[in-house]
Structure 1
Amino acid sequence: MPLQELTSRTAVIEAVGRCDIIGPETLVHDSKVGPVRDYLLEFEGKLYHAKTVADVAYGIQHPDRPPLPADAFKGDAAVRSLERLDFTIAATAKLWPPDLGVEYPNRTIIRNAFGGNWVPGIAKFPGDDIVNVFSDEDGPYADEAPDPVKPFEYRGEGRAGDQQLTRGNKMLDQARQERRAVRYWYRPAGGTFKFVTWVAILSRAQVWSPDDTKKLRLEYTFQVAAVPSPEPNTWPSQVTDLIDDGEIEDTPPPRPVPQNAVSKQLPKTYLEYVKPFGDTPKACRKGRGPNKGNRNLYPRSRRARDAVLVRAADQCENDGCTGMPADTTPSGAAILEVDHVDDLALNGPDHPGVMIALCPNCHAAKTRGRTRAALKRHFRARAAKLHQQAMQAHQG
């Protein structure tokens, strides 16, 4: 490797004198050595682009040789060469970590700012111990939109075949066990990536979901909750009480019935959907709490969600709704969000009788609105009434 032939500390020091000083607002992109913000050389209290310094120093030491090609600087080759000469290397993400609320147009710009790989949905920036997760509403995973109040779902990485507890998924699981905060980046449809919140990883479970080839496979689903900072002593007790930081044994749920199965195997009516849960929420086992003897804490029943959507028949179930969105989902269905009136993660039942289908505006009002406490009481009664009406209608 050419950079292994950079052996002169004197050449590096001379190169430093020819290079620009780097500061937190500096963003220089060189066509050969790449973006400035990955690793920096620290020398006499100042910072310099490590790859640029290595490139210049190589030319000083070997003036009779042609310039180095761009692929000579792949990975951390320049960093290793400078460290061999006893220079101090600093990581951009350690010096100038991303501020909460910062936005970037895309993952490529984030990589240019902090280095690393722009492809994985779960990653650490070079030289940084903090895990970042990236959720894209236009992406291939069924992540839930981040919620500032309630726990929400983030799907693991791996787009073909059963997901494995390796790489990014393993990093997230280690953050759960060690109670370390994770940066949560989110891009709404057509928007930009924004560092929206710190999250704590509450639990891990497995769900069935189609991969890129439309074949069913097991995905990891991580329950996460927004926290105010990376310091655990600032996390509210309603979050810390929900963290399962022990070993979790994967227990895959039953494989769903194939779409082309015999029609009698597929539930069609509200009554058929609800039958496995029992007629009332009391007959249904409540959402599992933070019991160390009970793993995979908060799996949500797809069947219960589908039952509520069948009952709603493409209409917001809030009788005070001021208007559904004019747009629809790509399949032509109404844009509805199924809400557990009593939070599942706070031991609420996973039963259609205490779940309600809401349009995005009504769901936001119930979650974050000034009158959310009154809405919660109203929706609890409303869901029970709609459930009883649907049961009676199907029972004749």
Structure 2
Amino acid sequence: MKSTHRFCTILFLHNKGKGRIVTTATPKDRVQRALSEFDEKLRDHPNWANWETNRRYSSFITIDGKRYPAKTIVALAQNIAEASFSGAFETTRYLRKAGISTEPLQCLPASLLDLHFEREAIYDRKTEIHGPFGGSHQSGIAPSSTFPAIFIFTGDTGAQNGYADKWVDGENTCLYTGEGQIGPMALTKGNLAIAEHAHTGKSLHLFQSVAKGKGHRYRGEFVCESFFTEEQPDQKGTPRSAIVFRLTRVETVPDCDPSLPLEDSETLTLQVSLTAAREAALAVTQRAPSTSTKATARTIYQRSRVVAHYVLMRAAGTCESCEKPAPFNKSDGSPYLEPHHTNRVSDGGLDHPQFVAAICPNCHREIHSGEDGAKKNQALAQKIRSYELYRA
């Protein structure tokens, strides 16, 4: 007897060897079934009450006036766990097959804490990178038009256009060739943006092309450690002078504690007065990256140390977020506060007095993990920036 339910005619077969569900249903049919399942079993469940404000979900679809989390619908449609695929690019591609387009949950993120790209996940450049954050869809170096961030793109086909990027140090460092397809490269436009990113307070986010039309894999956040020039062929095969940036993962930059004694080999002096410490901090951020091929993370470490020293002196033992005294003193008697980068998802590497605050551990954890962390960070960023601009 013919069933009135459209899905009763769909044949499902269980493959015991691979533990998968095989179906003759089209992606559109599967999505329709997933939508019904979400409405019946999940929509009214307490765990899904505020899913639209959860950073875990970056896109949604709208059907008959109702919103659905895009990745969850794709997982239900394919009968697989959400954790089994990266989400961004795969979700968009599958839903396109069903004739459905996705929309970003936050067209304009509240702060850089919402730059929540997942390492090794694949993203659609147009809709999931430049759509929410702006910037050129074509350039290999694309500064965001609305946020202090620079998006950098690399791929295997770059050599055809005069770019020869390569990974070293266990892929913790990328030797990234600057922009300019014909003739010698100049330290202008995108190249200058990378070289000055620490001074301007802009974070570097590196993406690697998977294949033409198959998205870009997020490789992480980086800091420009140095740059140099070397001879490389341009797009026409003519030898030319190319700019190569040494980009290091921010997580590999060592933490610093200004209260610890300096190593004998270091020629770094920490100032004892607040004014002198501020001048020193501004000076190290304005210094261009080294052009030496032998430069190491030591340069970044020293900059971080000088800036952290000034910021802790500026706070004078009081959390710059909650304005309460430091919770305890360190072994040297100084109040314990932690440097926090207001313009970054993680800490370390990128330093400038306008974007670094000294805060207590409780505020630090709340900003990174709390429900209202983004708002708290925004308020702190505005306070610190206003203070530094007033002193300028």
The structure with more radius of gyration? 1
- Place the TM-score, normalised by the shorter chain, in its bin: 0.3 to 0.5
TM-score (norm 1): 0.35
TM-score (norm 2): 0.36
